[in-house]
Amino acid sequence: MFKIKDLSLLLAVALLSCVPLSVPAQTQLVAVNEIKLPVPASLGNFGRSFPILGDSANEKSSMKVLRDQSLVVLDPDASGKWPLVRVTKWWTKAPVSEVLNVAGWTAADTEYGGVEVDLQITPDGHYAVVFAAASWDGPLFHRKDYVARKPDTLITVIDLQRWQIIGSAHTANTDDADFRGARILNGNWIALQGMDKRPESVKYEHLYDRRNRLISIPDLKMGPGCVSKRPGDHLPEPGTPASVRRKTAETLARQNDEACADVLRVSGVASVKTLESVIYKGHGLEPKVLMLHSLDIKDEAELDGDKTPFPINLDEQEQFAYYDHWNSFRQNEYRGDLPEESTSHLWYQLYGFHRDNSYQFGIGVFDAGGQKLVEQVPQHLLCKGEGDQWKYCRCSIEDISEEQHALLTSCEGYSIGFLDVEIPHKQWLSVFRTDNLSEVGATAISKNRRTSEAIAVAEGRAYVLAVELGETLRVYGVPGRSESQSLPLASQTQYRNPSD
């Protein structure tokens, strides 16, 4: 999924071929650097089992920008030596890279299984935490002699100041759980949640049970844990009034909070529902109106009118879409509409709609109560034009920096081929101002390579850092930012609806 070398003509041609509408030259994101990261050209595959080749390790890479604006990139490697790369001076002609090998799963470890990977940084920037979750489904064709391993999440803590590993732990040693998400809550605790895998006396006995666990940082000692339940364990009878369904959901939420009282007390989180949102989406509970919109539900009255044999409530729809996925929902059809919270507790949300023969995305900014403050329908988010041959499109918010007045989005157009395989056609990045959602710049990226992006700052200028398949870092300068650096922070929240 990546960008162009720094030849301006090639950049302009590629940009015009990727972004459906013509883009003025002054709105281009300028390619200023391309850095090959010191990692193997091929990192192998996980979960290899004939005739399935498994998942490419390159597709599992993860990146974060640190408080000092250096970049760290984790590259899972099927050899078991996972390079963690730190890059400094990435905006100069003499960038500096250093590598720390982190022990991880190998191709042999994950035979008949799969791996999910995440890299997170503590709020004070002192530690990096690598999560490597593995689970095993068994051979494609049943073998009587095959015994599946327990699901296991390998957690590794790195001291970023000393640039060394200071601890690691396997969750299989303490919990019978297939953990599906983790989040650093503060500088002291990691919260994990996953499927309860305790032995069953009755089939599907633990289907709706979720095991929660706190683990301390940096020593990785086990903290309190609990088992909460999902609403599927209490499906209403056909024809149950909506008010009764909501009452059942409220009762279940209260029971979960009581069962997990120690976890909530130690973590400082208000409820199990909030804890799940933090773990899987990276923020607390969003305003209900934004959650309804992200699930394409007009309002709760629409759910009240559900006449299907087993109507579901909002909690069940939310959990089906966003939970138990190790953030993989960000690569599915829901990713465009999920609201994102800024450091000033404003909410930013994309929304898609059909317009004539095209498909367009708009951006809205909302206050803590879900009240719309400003919205725009940008040219760069015209996702599918009349002449495009591809059928599907999605856009998402990748990063928000109100300090730099920058909002970063990515879009991709694709079609569906044989066996439901996605065929990529176009991908591009766009930057907008957070204070008025005006367009700042855009650039095309490679249509068929996975990319992770973030906003960073160096010497008073804003940049977009884009890492392609964990191998190549491309640096883009954000144009016209020098005058915005001196704007007071308060200007970020002085919104005016353009329709006023």
Task: Return mean pLDDT, the chain.
Answer: 83
Q: For 1-55, what is each residue's pLDDT tens digit?
A: 333 333 333 333 333 333 333 333 347 899 999 999 999 988 888 875 544 566 8
Determine, yes or no, domain membership for 290: yes
Determine, yes or no, domain membership for 428: yes
Is pLDDT above 70 for 121? yes
CA distance 352 to 349: 10
Q: What is the pLDDT of residue 254?
A: 97
Lowest mean pLDDT among 158-167, 250-259, 315-324, 395-404: 315-324
Residue 258, class by beta-carbon neighbours within 10 Å (0-12 exposed, 13-18 middle, 19+ buried)?
A: exposed
Determine, yes or no, domain membership for 1: no
Is pLDDT above 90 for 132? yes
Model pTM? 0.86
Domain count, the chain: 1
Q: What is the pLDDT of residue 308?
A: 56
Determine, yes or no, domain membership for 499: no
Residue 270, helix vs strand vs coil: coil
Query: Which of 333-360 are b and which e, b meaning 16 or more Cβ less than 10 Å from the residue's Cβ?
Result: ebbbbbbbbbeeebbbbbbbeeeeebbb
The dihedral of CA 102, 107, 111, 115: what is its sign? positive
Range of the domain at 401: 8-493
- CATH assignment of the domain containing 45: 2.120.10
- Give the gyration radius of the chain's Cα atoms: 23
Nearest partner of 48 among 113, 143, 104, judged by Cα: 113
What residue has token string 């909690």?
Answer: 315
Q: What is the pLDDT of residue 495?
A: 32
H-run or E-run covering 194: strand 189-196
Output the DSSP codes for 131-191.
EEEEEE---SS--TT--PPPPEEEEEEEETTTTEEEEEEEGGGT--EEEEEEEE-SSSEEE
Is pLDDT above 60 for 334? no
**Tokens at 12, concatenated:** 């302009």
237 confidence band (pLDDT: 50, 70, 90):
low
Q: For 170-192, what is each residue's pLDDT tens digit?
A: 999 999 999 999 999 988 999 99
Q: For 42-99, what is each residue's pLDDT tens digit?
A: 888 887 554 456 688 888 999 999 999 999 999 999 999 999 999 999 999 999 999 9
Determine the straight-line distance between the first and last CA of the chain, rounded to whole angstroms.
39
Is pLDDT above 60 for 256? yes
What residue has token string 């890299």?
Answer: 119
- DSSP structural state of residue 346: -
204 confidence band (pLDDT: 50, 70, 90):
confident
Is pLDDT above 80 for 232? no
Residue 16, class by beta-carbon neighbours within 10 Å (0-12 exposed, 13-18 middle, 19+ buried)?
A: middle
CA distance 8 to 133: 42
Nearest partner of 152 among 206, 185, 200, 116, judged by Cα: 116
